[in-house]
Each structure stands twice: as C-alpha cells, then as structure tokens.
C-alpha cells in the first residue's frame, strides 16, 4: 500500500464523537470494535496508533473546544464562546473584536414565555425569508452598535454586533428550555460596554419581535396552526479572537470540508480555506462519497486537508450504537476506495474530537483512538482501529494540543527547537 513517495501532505479525517463506551446492544463492544472496517484497520496496521486526549484526561469537551485544541489552539486562551465560530462557519467575515451569538428563531407568547425553541421546526427557506425582514430592521436600527443577522439551517442563525462598545459580557437570552419566561440580556461585568450591549441588544430583540409577529409568513403559519418564528433568542456570546493561522505556524495551505457550520468556522478561524460540498449535510445521510472525493482532490492543492464527518456523534446523541457502527462501516467503505491514492504521497490521520457515549448521549472525557499512516511513519503491531487496540500503540497517549506538531513534523513542517 505504502509506495515509497515521501509524503508532503496530510489528510486529517475527523470523525466527530468517535470514541464510545461498550454497550450490551453490541455484545459489550463499542461501535468501533463492533464495526467491520477494512480501511481503518489497514491504517492502524500500516502505521502508528495511540490514544488522544482532546483536551485533558477526563475532561469532556464540546466540538468547539475539542476542535480548537486538536488544531493546536489552547481553548483556555482562544475560546471565547461558540458564537464567533458559528458565524465564521456561516460565511460571515469577522474582525477581531466583533461579538457574535448563536441564535434560535423561536416561538414566544406575548409575555415572552418560551413555547417552542425551534418554532415548529420551521424550514430553512421560511427562516431565510424571515431573516431578511430582521436584516432590514438591522439596517435602519438607530444605535451606537451595528447589528447583522443571518439564518443558517432551519431555526438556527447567527447575530453579530459591532462597534466600540460591543461586548460579549452579557447573559444568554435563550433559557435553553421551554415553558419558562425569556429574560432579556444582562451585563455580566461592570463595564460600560457590557451595559450598552445589554441595553441595545434588548431594544433590538424587542423590535425584532414586533417585525416578526406581523410578518405575513408568520401570520400564515398561525392560520395553518403552526408555531410562528417570532423571537430571536441569542446565546453563546463570544468575541472574535485573533488566532495565528496554520500557514503562519507551519507554512502550509489548508482546507476544510465539513457539513456543519461550526466546523467550518473553527477551521476558518485557523486560516483554512473552505471547500463546500453541496450534498454534505452534517447528518447521518450525508453524501460521504462526495466528501471523500472532494478531500482526495483537495490533496492536489493543499498540504493539509481536514475532512470532518458528523454522523458518528449524532448516532451517539440518538442513543443508537448500532446506527453508529453502521455509519462507521459506510465511512470505511468510502475511505477504502481512495486509500491507495491517499497513501501515495500523503499521511493520513484518523481520530475523533471527543468521546460521545451512545449509552447516555453525552460527551465524556475518555480518550479517543488515533491512527496515523503513510510513508516513513513508524509501524507498531496494532492491527485494529478501536479504543482498546489503539491503547497498545506506539504513540501512547497524546494531548490534542500536541497532535498538529506530530503530524506537521511527519511532513517536515516543524522548525527545529535549538541548534
Ligand atoms: Zn464533536
Ligand atoms: Zn456531540
């Protein structure tokens, strides 16, 4: 399989929430252990394996902090909230200092009691139309701060606030559960900018509700017995951080292929280009074939190709270890079609951004399996890719923050420390 060509590029295959715990449904195996997977096992047997602590042993991480860490950015330094990463992923250009929120378009009653966090599962098309009305409001909104709103998928969207007095030190407006009254944002520190942001955001949200309540699309939804999307509920405020790019750190050109906005956002923050695959959905029925084809083709023009696949995590959140096993098998079949071509000239790394247990549907701090193969990569005697087999591998246990150095050094992109 490995061809003698010295590799000068890396394909990073990130399987979200890959690690798991053994379940009775799978005969006390994890989905990875239970899956039949030719290509993934081949990578393990031809290369080196180990366990990866995305951040630190026993610390469960979100996809946001897990990805930052694995790309080499300490979340303690660079993570300010999920908002900016979602906004970048939605294609919005942010400058350092811009404040961004994730937003749910939701249904509230006249007293702002939250009735439906997803506004009757409103379609992406309808949400876009409503978002246009909010965008017009933002344009004529008289304030010391400027507002920008975009809807993304279904009821989800992002809100960006810019200006000298923009601050991320405000409380979430989204109460995260239905049946309670929505509280307007409050400052979480004593700064003038937090006070101004809370005050202006409150005004904006109240005006947005007026606009949305009387929007013909919502009037029609009510007539059809559907919940209107009549309120914006921001959460996850963060200020856009300044990250040293992968090009600055390693001199590589890099690109991300991902269905979910968050993953594109984290990678854009790291300076990666985005390659869109229109049929990549970020769900279990994503177009794996198109994603792998795009990834392999991108290896021609980039030294680092980051291919993110979300369905593994989704199956765990659905408490469905069998679906996760089946999805891993599908990934494996698509990967297998390209493995020879990937291994001629590239290093491939496969791992996950955290463990997601399909027993309780939660993220956990268990380490995730890691396998790296390519010309010149040490071979250990592990021949299977799963949580237990990889624990016997030659890499041992590595921190997410160190992984990018390990990979970039394999292709000669890390400067020597000392003389
Ligand atoms: Zn994740
Ligand atoms: Zn998850």
Domain annotation covers residue 206: yes
Assess contact for 404 and 67: CB atoms under 8 A: no
> Quick one: angle between helices 216-223 and 124-140, nearest 10?
140
Residues 277 and 388 occupy one common structural domain: yes
Neighbours of 292 (CB within 10 A): 24
Domain end, chosen from 238, 257, 282, is at 238
Are 112 and 49 found together in one domain? no
For residue 204, give both structure tokens: 């904006």
| pLDDT band per the 50, 70, 90 thresholds, residue 283 | confident
Claim to verify: residue 178 and residue 224 sit in the same structural domain = yes
101 confidence band (pLDDT: 50, 70, 90) = very high
Average pLDDT estimate for 262-270: 96
How far apart are the C-alpha atoms of 401 and 68, rounded to whole Å?
A: 8
Domain final position from 218, 238, 258:
238
User: How many whole angstroms from 4 Cα to the centroid of ligand 1?
Assistant: 35
- For residues 173 and 31, give the distance between their C-alpha atoms in angstroms, rounded to a whole number: 37
Same domain, 208 and 292: no
Pair (234, 304) in one structural domain: no
pLDDT for the residue 282: 82
Question: What number is the average pLDDT over the span 268-282?
Answer: 93
User: How many A from CA of 180 to the centre of ligand 2?
Assistant: 25
* Paired sense of beta strands 254-257 and 156-162, if any: unpaired
CA of 122 from ligand 1 middle (Å) equals: 25
Instruction: Provide the percentage of residues in the chain whose pLDDT is more than 90.
Output: 95
Alpha carbon of 310 to ligand 1 centroid (Å):
7
Q: Where residue 3 falls among pLDDT bands split at 50, 70, 90?
A: low
In a domain, 88, yes or no: no
Q: Which domain holds residue 256?
A: 9-79+243-410
- Please give the backbone phi and psi of residue 211, each rounded to the nearest 5 degrees, phi first: -60, -45
Euclidean distance between CA atoms 14 and 338, whole angstroms: 16
Q: Pick the closest to residue 327 from 25, 34, 12 (CA basis).
A: 34
Number of structural domains, the chain?
2
In this prediction, residues 178-193 reach a mean pLDDT of 97
Task: Look at residue 312 and give its three-state secondary structure.
Answer: helix
Residue 2: inside a domain: no
- Whole-number Å distance, alpha carbon 98 to ligand 1 midpoint, is 25
**Residues 251 and 354 reside in one and the same domain:** yes
What is the pLDDT at residue 5? 73
Q: What is the pTM (predicted TM-score) of this model?
A: 0.92
Instruction: Specify the pairing of strand 304-309 against strand 396-399.
Output: unpaired
Encode pLDDT of 236-250 as tens digits. Answer: 999 998 999 999 999
Residue finishing a domain among 238, 263, 281: 238
Question: How far is the centre of ligand 1, averaged over its atoms, from the C-alpha of 18 (Å)?
Answer: 8
Ligand 2 center from residue 25 Cα (angstroms):
21
Over range 330-354, report the average pLDDT: 97
| Averaged pLDDT, 88-100 | 94
User: In this structure, are 204 and 281 located in the same domain?
Assistant: no
The crossing angle, in degrees rounded to 10, of helices 124-140 and 192-213 is 120
Q: What is the CATH number of the domain that holds 255?
A: 3.40.720.10
- Same domain (yes/no): 171, 314: no
Say if 398 falls within a structural domain.
Answer: yes
C-alpha distance from residue 175 to each of 12, 15, 134, 184, 238 (Å) = 36, 30, 21, 10, 17
On whether both 204 and 271 belong to a single domain, the answer is no
Taking the C-alpha atoms of residue 54 and residue 73, their distance in angstroms, rounded to an integer, is 11
How many whole angstroms separate alpha carbon 280 and alpha carbon 288? 7
Q: 3-state class of 386 per DSSP?
A: coil
Q: Say yes or no: 183 and 248 in one domain.
A: no
85 alpha carbon to ligand 1 midpoint, in Å? Answer: 14
Distances (CA, A) of 10 to 103, 120, 373, 416: 35, 43, 10, 20
**What is the DSSP pairing of strand 99-108 with strand 114-116?**
antiparallel
Give the ligand at the shortest distance from the Cα of 61.
1
Residue 155 or 4, more confident: 155
Residue 276, domain member (yes or no): yes
């Amino acid at each position: 399989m490995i061809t003698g060509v010295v590799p000068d590029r890396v394909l990073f295959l990130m399987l979200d929430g890959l690690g798991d715990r053994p379940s009775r449904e799978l005969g006390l195996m994890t989905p990875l252990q239970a899956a039949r997977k030719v290509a993934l096992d081949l990578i393990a047997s031809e290369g080196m394996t180990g366990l990866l602590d995305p951040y630190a042993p026993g610390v469960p991480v979100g996809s946001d902090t897990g990805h930052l860490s694995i790309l080499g950015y300490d979340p303690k330094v660079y993570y300010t909230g999920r908002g900016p990463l979602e906004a970048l992923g939605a294609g919005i250009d942010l400058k350092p200092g811009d404040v961004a929120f994730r937003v749910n378009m939701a249904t509230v009653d006249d007293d702002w009691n939250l009735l439906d966090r997803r506004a009757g599962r409103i379609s992406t098309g309808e949400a876009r139309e409503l978002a246009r009305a909010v965008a017009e409001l933002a344009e004529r909104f008289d304030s010391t701060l400027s507002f920008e709103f975009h809807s993304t998928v279904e009821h989800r969207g992002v809100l960006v606030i810019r200006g000298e007095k923009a601050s991320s030190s405000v409380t979430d407006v989204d109460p995260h559960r239905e049946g309670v009254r929505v509280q307007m944002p409050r400052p979480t520190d004593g700064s003038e900018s937090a006070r101004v942001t809370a005050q202006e955001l409150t005004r904006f949200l109240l005006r947005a509700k007026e606009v949305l309540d009387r929007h013909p699309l919502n009037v029609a939804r009510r007539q059809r017995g559907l919940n209107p999307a009549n309120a914006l509920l921001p959460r996850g405020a963060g200020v856009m951080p300044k990250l040293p790019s992968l090009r600055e750190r390693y001199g590589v050109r890099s690109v991300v292929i991902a269905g979910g906005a968050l993953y594109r956002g984290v990678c854009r923050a790291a300076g990666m280009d985005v390659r869109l695959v229109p049929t990549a959905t970020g769900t279990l029925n994503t177009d794996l074939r198109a994603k792998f084809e795009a990834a392999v083709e991108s290896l021609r023009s980039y030294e680092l190709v980051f291919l993110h696949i979300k369905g593994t995590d989704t199956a765990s959140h659905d408490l469905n270890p069998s679906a996760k096993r089946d999805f891993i098998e599908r990934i494996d079949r698509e990967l297998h079609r390209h493995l020879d071509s990937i291994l001629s000239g590239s290093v491939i790394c496969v791992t996950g951004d955290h463990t997601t247990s399909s027993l309780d549907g939660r993220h956990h701090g268990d380490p995730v399996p890691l396998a790296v193969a390519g010309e010149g990569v040490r071979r250990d005697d592990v021949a299977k890719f799963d949580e237990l087999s990889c624990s016997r591998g030659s890499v041992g246990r590595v921190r997410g923050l160190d992984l990018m150095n390990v990979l970039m050094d394999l292709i000669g992109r890390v400067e020597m420390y000392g003389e």
